[in-house]
Structure 1
Amino acid sequence: MATLGDRLDHLLGAKAADSLADAFDMRTAEDLLRHYPLRYATQGQPLTEEEPEDGAHVTVIGRITKADLRPMRNRRGSLLKVALDTGSGRPVDVTFFNGDKVKYAVKQGVRAMMSGTVNYWRPGQWSLNHPGYLILPEEDEPATLTTVRGAGDLAGLARSAQGAEGVDTAFFEREFVPVYPATAKVQSWDLLACVRQVLEQLDPLDDPLPEPVRAERGLLEITEALRLIHLPEHRTDIDRARDRLRFDEALALQLVLAERRHEVEGRTAHPCPPRPDGIAAAFAAKLPFELTAGQRQVIDEISADLGRERPTHRLLQGEVGSGKTIVALHAMLQVVDAGRQCALLAPTEVLAAQHHRSLRAMLGELAAAGELGAAEHATRVVLLTGSMPAAARKAALLAAVTGEAGIVIGTHALIQDAVEFFDLGMVVVDEQHRFGVEQRDALRAKAKGGISPHLLVMTATPIPRTIAMTTLGDLETSTLTELPRGRSPIASRVVPRRQHPGWVDRAWERITEEVRAGRQAYVVCSRIGDDDGRDEGGKNSAKPKKGKKAAEKEPPNTQAVLDVYEELRAGALAGLRVGLLHGRLPADEKDEVMRAFNAGSVDVLVCTTVVEVGVDVPNATVMVILDADRFGVSQLHQLRGRIGRGAHASLCLLVTDAAPGGTAMARLAAVAATTDGFELAVLDLKQRREGDVLGSAQSGTARSLRLLSLLDDLETISAAKDFARTVVEADPGLDAHPGLAAMMRAAVDGERLEYLAKS
C-alpha cells in the first residue's frame, strides 16, 4: 500500500518514474495525483437520435456493416469507406485514409468503438474522418481483450488499461475518461495508467483538514476527492472533487502567507513618526495647489505605518497622473525628518532623471542643503545612474554613504555592491512591475544592523502577480481614485491600418493641427531599428527572413523608431520640430532631448517605451502608438498616461495591423474603451492568468495554481485566509498540524518560500 509521500519509482518502477520526472518533475505519489485532468472525454457512449454538432468530438460503439476499399482519385493509396451501425437508425459513415493498413482489423461484421470529429458534408449527413478506433469483443464474450487492435487515442487508452490478463473494456463504458496535460513523450493515456496504478495502491489518507471545517463547507475527504478527480462516475463527482481540491490550494497559499506575515511582524524597522516642525510639514505648507481628499487620506495611512516599529509593506496604486509621486515624496520627507535616508528606484534613466528634476523643483530650497539660500530643514536629493560621468557618480556615492543625501534617486545602479547608505530607512519602488523581487530585496538589504527599511511600491497598472498577492491579502493597499483638478479627458481610438490606410494619414494631420495650436505630441514605436530583432520591451520584432518556412515562423514586420523618425521628418511632419528618443542613446543625449521636449522646443517626440512611466509634459495632447498590438495592456495604459496631463482634451491613437475579430484587436478595443487602470489590469489577469503566484515566473506559463482562480474564487480564498490565520496565530510553526504543514510544502517548495520572504 502507498502514501502520498511514497516515491514513484517504488510504486511504478524506474522506467515509468524516470519518464514522469523528466517530463513533469514528478517524484512522489502526491506529485502525480496533483496533476489533475485538463478535461474529460465522454468515451464509450452510444449515439442518440440527435444529430451532433459540426466539429464535436464523439465516441460511438457499433457493428461494421460495410467496409469498402476504394482507390484515391488524385494520389496514390486507398480509402476505406465504412458504415457503422450504432442502433440509432442510421449508420455512421466513417472514412479511413490509410485503407490498406486498417482493412485487416476494420472489416465487416466486427464490433468497434470509434472516436473522432464530426464533419457535415451536406445537411443532415455527417461522417467521421480517420477516427481513432478499437476493435471490441462480442457482447456474449468476456469483456477482456488479450490483444489490442486499434489506433489513435482509443488504442492508447486501451493499452494504458492493460493488466496482466489483458484489457478490461468495461473501462471504456465509463461516462468520463480523464484527459491530462501531456507531452510528446508522456501521453495522456500513459499518465492515466500511472494514476490508476497509484490509486490502486493508495492507503486511506489522514485528512489534514479538520472535520468541522469540511462539514461547514460540505467538502469531501481528501482520499475520495483525489480518486474522483481522476476517475469520476458522474458530473457531480468532478464538481465536488474540484471544490475540495480548490479549497486545499487556497488554504496552502494562505498558510504560506500567514506564516510570512507572522515572520514579517517579527522584523524591526526604525519608527519614523511625523513631526509638526520638520521638512514634511514645510513642504506641505508650500504646495501651490490643494491635495485631493484621496491623497490626504493615503498620506495619513502611510504616515501611520511609518510611525510603527514594524516595517511598512504597502502598495500604492492609482491612475496615471493621480498624484502618486506627491504622496511618496511626503512619505520620504517624513522618514528624512526622523534622521533616515530614502532610496527611490526607477526603471529607466529617463524616469530617474525626470524624478530628480521634478522632486528638486517641487522642494525648491528644501532640497538645497549645503547651498546658499537653503531652507532650515533642507535635505539633498541626488541622482545615481549607471551612465553618469565618474566625478558625478563619485559625488553621489559619497553623499549616500555619509548621509548628506536624504533622498537618493536611481536605477539598477542603486543595487550595485559599491552603493552604500549611511542609514537607509525607506525604499520607494516606482512602477514595481519593472523590477524583479531579487532586485528589490538587494536594495532593502542595504539597511544596517538587521533593521528592515520601510517599503512602498507604486503602480498605475498592477501586473497579474501584484493583483494576485493583493487578492490573497499579502500587501497592504492604498488606492488613489481621484485625478487632480485641471486634468483633461483622454479619448482613445483603434486605427486598423490594413482596412483603413487613410486613417493613418489623418493621424499625422491631427498631430500637425495640434502643434499649430501650440501643443505637442508623441509617436511611439516598439523597437529601435538596428536589426537586432528585439524591441525595448523584449519581444521579437525582427523583419521576416527570406524563404517560406522562415516567413511562416517570424512575427509580422513592425516599424522601427529610427525609420519612422526619418520618414516623418521628411514626409508627413515636415516643417515641424521632430525629436528622437530611445534607450540606446547616450544618457546626456536622452536628457537633452527630454529637456527640449519639456521646454517646448521639440514639437513631436518619436520614441520607444522609454517614456512609458513618469514623463510629465502637460502640453502634450496627442499620442500615436504604432504596432500597438505589440504592447501589453499595462504598457499601453502607461504610455497613454503621458498625455492628458494638462488642461486640453487629449487623443491616443492605437495603430495596428491585427486581424479584425482576433484576440489582439479585442485587447486593443478593450484598452480604448476604458482609462481605468485596475480594470485593465484585471483584463490582463484574465488573459494571462495569475502566473506562478508563489514563484518568480510572471508569464502565466508556470503556475502554482491548478484549479484555483484568483478572480473567480474570492469567497473560497477569503474562507481559507480566515482559517489559516487562526491556525498560524495558535501554532506559528504548524508543529501541531503536520498535515497542514505538508499541504503547505506541497504547494510551495523551499526556493519559492525564500522568494516570498523577499517579495
Structure 2
Amino acid sequence: MRPEILFPYYAPVTSLKGVGPKLAPTLSAHVGSHVRDLVFFLPSGLIKRPLVSVSQARVGEVQTIAVTIGGYPPSPPKGPQRVDVFDDTGRLQLTYFHRIRGFEQQHPVGARRLISGKVEKFGQYLQMSHPDYIVDEARAEDIPPCEPVYPATLDLSSRMIRKFVQTALAALPVLPEWHDENMLEKHGWPSFNDALTRSHSPESDLDQSADASHRLRLAYDEALAHQLALKARKQHRQATPARVVVYRTWWDLALKSLPFALTGAQDRAIADIRADLASGHRMNRLIQGDVGAGKTLVALAAMIDLAEGGFQSVMMAPTEILARQHYEKSLTILQAVGIRSILMTGRDKGKAREEKRAAVANGEVTIIFGTHAVFQDGVDFKALQLAVIDEQHRFGVGQRQKLFSKGDAVHYLSMSATPIPRTLALTQYGEADLSILDEKPAGRQPIHTAVLPRQRLADVIARLRSAVAEGSQAYWICPLVEDTAESDLIAVELRHSELQEALGIEIGLVHGRMPSEEKDSVISRFATGEVKILCATTVVEVGIDVPTASIIIIEQAERFGLAQLHQLRGRVGRGRDKSACILLYDTPLSNNAKARLELLRDTEDGFKIAEMDWKLRGEGDILGARQSGFPDYRFVDPVAHSRLIATAARDAVYILDHGNALPEPRRKAIEVLKQLFDWRPDIADKQD
C-alpha cells in the first residue's frame, strides 16, 4: 500500500485549480496524469527579466521597465494597436498586432505600469511587441526576475505550466527525511521539498546546472530509488532456486571445430556464465562487447553446456536477418557435437511451422534460434532453461516475460553490441551481472578510416568503381535527412539511382520500409557476391555479417552519433582483405563534429569511443540517453550524474543488507522514497 503522505503526489492533475475537463487531457498527455508528474516536470530554460530604465534598455534582450502610459496614437482600424509609454529617461512604444478589447480602459493614459518583454528597434524608436507582462506597479511580484521556461505546446504555454506547478508545490506535504543527517551536511544538500521548490524557482543559470546542490539531491534520490528496486530484484532472483548446470565435455569438442582460438576475454566471460549456471540460482548476465568481439560464440558455449545437460536454450534476435545469421554461423559448431538446432521466424507457415513446433515441444531440438516467433502462443518447450536475447532493449518487457514464462526459473543472458562506459552500465543494466569482451579475435583486420568533405564525392565514386572492378564489395550508407521515414526513403533511393547510373552496375537497395522478405533477399544476394554494392540506411547497423565486404562509405557522417558510426564501421573488417571506412561530411563542420569524426578516425576502441561520445553529448542530453535504452529518468542525467549513480548503487546494497538495523523512522522514510519514485521491480530497468 502507498503511504498516506504520498496521496497528494498521486492525486490527479484535475484536482488542481484551473485544470478543468477541457485542459486535463492536454496536460496529462504532455506532462502526466498525476500531480507528481507535474512537479517532477522540470523547467528547461530560464528568462532573466532585469529591471532597467528606457535609456538602459538593450536591444534584443528581455527586460522589465517601469513606465507611464503616454497615449494611443491613431492607427488604421485593421492595423496594429500601438501604445506610447515613457519614463524619466526616454520613450518606448508597445505594439500589439491583434487589438485587445478594453485595453485603453484597463491601461488609461497616465497609469503607471511595469512592462516586461524583448526590447527591439523599429526605425529610430525602441519598441516592445506583445509584452510578456503589463501589470500595475502594485503587482510587481507578478513579474519574476528569473522566470523558468517549461517545454510547452500550442495549447499549453510555459506560463500555464508554471502556474500549475506552483499551485501543486504549495499543496504538497513535507516528506520525512530518508537520508542520514551527516550525509546531507557532507554534501550540502537541502531537504527533498526544498530541492524540488528550488528546481522550479531558479535564480541563475547555475541553479539549472546538473551539479547544483538541489539538482544533485533530486538526482541522487531518484537514482537510489531506482537502484533499490534493481538490487531488490537481483536479491530475489539470487534467492530463487534454479537448475544446476555443470560444464562437461561437449564444448571441448566444439572448440576443436573452430579454426581459431578464443580470446582471453571470451574465456573469462564463459567462466562467469558457468559459475552462474552452477550456482543453483537464476542467472541474469549481460555480455557487453565491441563490434566483432565474439559475443555470439560465448553465448553458444552456454547453450552447448545446457544441451549436454539435457536442457533447451533459445537465442532471440530482433530481426530475421540477424536470427538467421546466428543460426547459420552456429550450424558447423553444433553439428560437430551432434546438437540439432532450428530457426523459427514469422516466415514459417503451415506444415513446416507445425513440424518445428512439435520438435521443440518434444525435445528433439535443444537449441532454437529465432525472432519474436519463439514466444508466440503455440510454441511450447519441453525443458527451456536458458534464454539468450540479442540487443535486448529492442524487445519489450512483456515480450521477454512471455518467453521466460515458457520455462521454469529460466536463466537469462543478454548481449549488447553497443559499448557503454561501465558506470553508465549500472543505469541501464543495474540488475544484471556484467561480462565485458574488450579484446578482438586474432585475425581481425584493422580498418583504415578516412574523413573527407562531401565535395570529394566524385573522387570517392571513382575510387569505388576501381575497387569494385578489382573484386571488392561495399556498403553505401545514407543518413536520415529529416526526422521522417519518408525523407530517409527519398534520400537512399535517390543515391541508389545516382550510383547505378554512375557505376553502370546493379546496386542493392535496403531500407526500413521494405518488406522483410525483399530486404532479406537483397542482403542475401549481397552476401553471396551477386550484388557488389549495397546502398542502405542504418538498418544494416547491427548484425549484418558479410566477410567479403571491405569498404563502407557513410554520407553526412556528422549527423550520426559516434557509437552508431562505430557500429556501422564494424560491418567491414570481418574478412581477410584490408578494409576501409570513408566518412563524408558537409561543410562547414562544427568543432564538436570535427572532434567526433577525428576520434573515430584515430581509434577502433569501442569503449573509448563510447566514453567520448557521452562526454561530447554534453550534460542534459536525457533524450539521447533514453534513445539508447536508458530508463525514463526525471532528474538523473546519466552522463553528468554517472558517479552519483555508482554511489547510489553501493548505498542501495548497504540499505538492503542492513535495513533492519536502521532506526524505524528512517526505514519508513526509505519506503516513502521507493513509493515516491515508483520504480516497480517488474519495470525498474525495462528488463524482465
The letter of the residue matching 2:442 is R
Note closer, same or farther for the CA distance 1:122–1:582 as it changes in structure 2 (3 Å cut).
Answer: closer
Please say if residues 344 and 370 of structure 2, whose CA atoms lie closer than 8 Å, have aligned partners that are also in contact.
yes
Note closer, same or farther for the CA distance 1:724–1:434 as it changes in structure 2 (3 Å cut).
Answer: closer
1:355-376 CA-partner distances (Å, limit 9, x unpaired):
2221123x1xxx33xxxxxx5x
The CA deviation at 1:445 is 1.8
The CA deviation at 1:222 is 3.0
The match for 1:80 is: 82
Task: Report the 3-state secondary structure (helix = DSSP H, G, I; strand = E; otherwise coil) of the residue aligned with 1:219.
Answer: coil
Verify: 1:347 aligned to 2:315, yes or no.
Answer: no
| In 2: Cα distance, 1:621 partner to 1:42 partner | 55
Please say if residues 12 and 35 of structure 2, whose CA atoms lie closer than 8 Å, have aligned partners that are also in contact.
no
Please say if residues 12 and 194 of structure 1, whose CA atoms lie closer than 8 Å, have aligned partners that are also in contact.
no
The CA deviation at 1:343 is 0.9
Note closer, same or farther for the CA distance 1:629–1:714 as it changes in structure 2 (3 Å cut).
Answer: closer
Verify: 1:289 aligned to 2:256, yes or no.
Answer: no
Note closer, same or farther for the CA distance 1:134–1:605 as it changes in structure 2 (3 Å cut).
Answer: closer
1:380-435 CA-partner distances (Å, limit 9, x unpaired):
12222222464543443333223232321112221212222221121222233333
The match for 2:25 is: 22
Task: Report the 3-state secondary structure (helix = DSSP H, G, I; strand = E; otherwise coil) of the residue aligned with 2:281.
Answer: coil
The answer to which of 472-481 and 326-335 deviates more is 472-481
Task: Report the 3-state secondary structure (helix = DSSP H, G, I; strand = E; otherwise coil) of the residue aligned with 1:16.
Answer: coil
Please say if residues 4 and 30 of structure 1, whose CA atoms lie closer than 8 Å, have aligned partners that are also in contact.
no
Residue 34 of structure 1, aligned match among 36, 40, 47: 40
Please say if residues 284 and 433 of structure 2, whose CA atoms lie closer than 8 Å, have aligned partners that are also in contact.
yes
| In 2: Cα distance, 1:335 partner to 1:50 partner | 78
The answer to which of 105-114 and 325-334 deviates more is 105-114
Verify: 1:261 aligned to 2:265, yes or no.
Answer: no
Please say if residues 382 and 407 of structure 1, whose CA atoms lie closer than 8 Å, have aligned partners that are also in contact.
yes
The letter of the residue matching 1:651 is A
Note closer, same or farther for the CA distance 1:607–1:233 as it changes in structure 2 (3 Å cut).
Answer: closer
Residue 177 of structure 2, aligned match among 196, 200, 207: 207
The match for 1:111 is: 112
Verify: 1:431 aligned to 2:391, yes or no.
Answer: yes
The answer to which of 504-513 and 731-740 deviates more is 731-740
The match for 1:62 is: 66
| In 2: Cα distance, 1:511 partner to 1:234 partner | 54
| In 2: Cα distance, 1:351 partner to 1:28 partner | 41
Please say if residues 417 and 542 of structure 2, whose CA atoms lie closer than 8 Å, have aligned partners that are also in contact.
no
The match for 2:546 is: 617
Task: Report the 3-state secondary structure (helix = DSSP H, G, I; strand = E; otherwise coil) of the residue aligned with 2:315.
Answer: strand
Please say if residues 525 and 608 of structure 1, whose CA atoms lie closer than 8 Å, have aligned partners that are also in contact.
yes
| In 2: Cα distance, 1:301 partner to 1:749 partner | 29
Note closer, same or farther for the CA distance 1:757–1:665 as it changes in structure 2 (3 Å cut).
Answer: closer
| In 1: Cα distance, 2:600 partner to 2:90 partner | 52
The letter of the residue matching 1:573 is L
Please say if residues 464 and 689 of structure 1, whose CA atoms lie closer than 8 Å, have aligned partners that are also in contact.
no
The CA deviation at 1:95 is 4.0
Note closer, same or farther for the CA distance 1:129–1:587 as it changes in structure 2 (3 Å cut).
Answer: closer
The match for 1:530 is: none
CA RMSD of aligned residues (A): 4.5
The match for 1:272 is: 245
TM-score norm. by structure 2 comes to: 0.82
Verify: 1:559 aligned to 2:504, yes or no.
Answer: no
The CA deviation at 1:63 is 2.7
| In 2: Cα distance, 1:27 partner to 1:518 partner | 60
Verify: 1:403 aligned to 2:363, yes or no.
Answer: yes
Task: Report the 3-state secondary structure (helix = DSSP H, G, I; strand = E; otherwise coil) of the residue aligned with 2:553.
Answer: strand
Note closer, same or farther for the CA distance 1:30–1:459 as it changes in structure 2 (3 Å cut).
Answer: closer
Residue 242 of structure 1, aligned match among 196, 215, 222: 215
Please say if residues 426 and 646 of structure 2, whose CA atoms lie closer than 8 Å, have aligned partners that are also in contact.
no
The match for 1:642 is: 571
Residue 581 of structure 2, aligned match among 652, 657, 664: 652
| In 1: Cα distance, 2:570 partner to 2:50 partner | 56
Please say if residues 396 and 686 of structure 2, whose CA atoms lie closer than 8 Å, have aligned partners that are also in contact.
no
The match for 2:469 is: 516
The CA deviation at 1:667 is 11
The letter of the residue matching 1:306 is L
The CA deviation at 1:280 is 0.7
The match for 2:51 is: 45
The match for 2:645 is: 717
The letter of the residue matching 2:474 is A
Note closer, same or farther for the CA distance 1:578–1:710 as it changes in structure 2 (3 Å cut).
Answer: closer
The match for 1:481 is: 438
Task: Report the 3-state secondary structure (helix = DSSP H, G, I; strand = E; otherwise coil) of the residue aligned with 1:558.
Answer: helix
Note closer, same or farther for the CA distance 1:578–1:225 as it changes in structure 2 (3 Å cut).
Answer: closer
Please say if residues 621 and 648 of structure 1, whose CA atoms lie closer than 8 Å, have aligned partners that are also in contact.
yes
Note closer, same or farther for the CA distance 1:91–1:12 as it changes in structure 2 (3 Å cut).
Answer: farther
The CA deviation at 1:590 is 6.6
| 1:379-528 correspondence runs (5 A) | 379-388=339-348, 390-447=350-407, 451-461=408-418, 467=424, 470=427, 473-492=430-449, 500=455, 503-524=456-477
Note closer, same or farther for the CA distance 1:388–1:568 as it changes in structure 2 (3 Å cut).
Answer: farther
The CA deviation at 1:506 is 3.0
| In 2: Cα distance, 1:69 partner to 1:593 partner | 71
The match for 1:739 is: 669
| In 1: Cα distance, 2:206 partner to 2:529 partner | 66
| In 2: Cα distance, 1:306 partner to 1:169 partner | 69
The match for 1:325 is: 296
Please say if residues 291 and 417 of structure 2, whose CA atoms lie closer than 8 Å, have aligned partners that are also in contact.
yes
| In 2: Cα distance, 1:99 partner to 1:23 partner | 26
1:184-241 CA-partner distances (Å, limit 9, x unpaired):
4454444444454455555544333343443343322234334444456788887443
The CA deviation at 1:709 is 0.9
Please say if residues 312 and 384 of structure 2, whose CA atoms lie closer than 8 Å, have aligned partners that are also in contact.
yes
The match for 2:656 is: 728
Note closer, same or farther for the CA distance 1:219–1:344 as it changes in structure 2 (3 Å cut).
Answer: same
| In 1: Cα distance, 2:37 partner to 2:529 partner | 61
Please say if residues 53 and 66 of structure 2, whose CA atoms lie closer than 8 Å, have aligned partners that are also in contact.
no
The CA deviation at 1:581 is 5.8
Question: How many aligned positions are there?
Answer: 670
The match for 1:708 is: 636
Please say if residues 491 and 650 of structure 1, whose CA atoms lie closer than 8 Å, have aligned partners that are also in contact.
yes
Note closer, same or farther for the CA distance 1:400–1:435 as it changes in structure 2 (3 Å cut).
Answer: same
| In 2: Cα distance, 1:50 partner to 1:268 partner | 74
Task: Report the 3-state secondary structure (helix = DSSP H, G, I; strand = E; otherwise coil) of the residue aligned with 1:572.
Answer: helix
The match for 1:300 is: 271
Note closer, same or farther for the CA distance 1:660–1:421 as it changes in structure 2 (3 Å cut).
Answer: farther
Note closer, same or farther for the CA distance 1:633–1:732 as it changes in structure 2 (3 Å cut).
Answer: farther
Structure 1 unmatched ranges of 5 or more: 138-142, 144-167, 369-374, 528-534, 543-554
The match for 1:134 is: 134
Task: Report the 3-state secondary structure (helix = DSSP H, G, I; strand = E; otherwise coil) of the residue aligned with 1:405.
Answer: coil
| In 1: Cα distance, 2:515 partner to 2:164 partner | 59
The CA deviation at 1:712 is 0.7
Structure 2 unmatched ranges of 5 or more: none
| In 1: Cα distance, 2:13 partner to 2:320 partner | 56
Please say if residues 340 and 365 of structure 2, whose CA atoms lie closer than 8 Å, have aligned partners that are also in contact.
yes
Residue 358 of structure 1, aligned match among 323, 329, 332: 329
| 1:149-164 correspondence runs (5 A) | none
The CA deviation at 1:606 is 4.2
The CA deviation at 1:32 is 4.4
| Bigger Rg, which one | 1
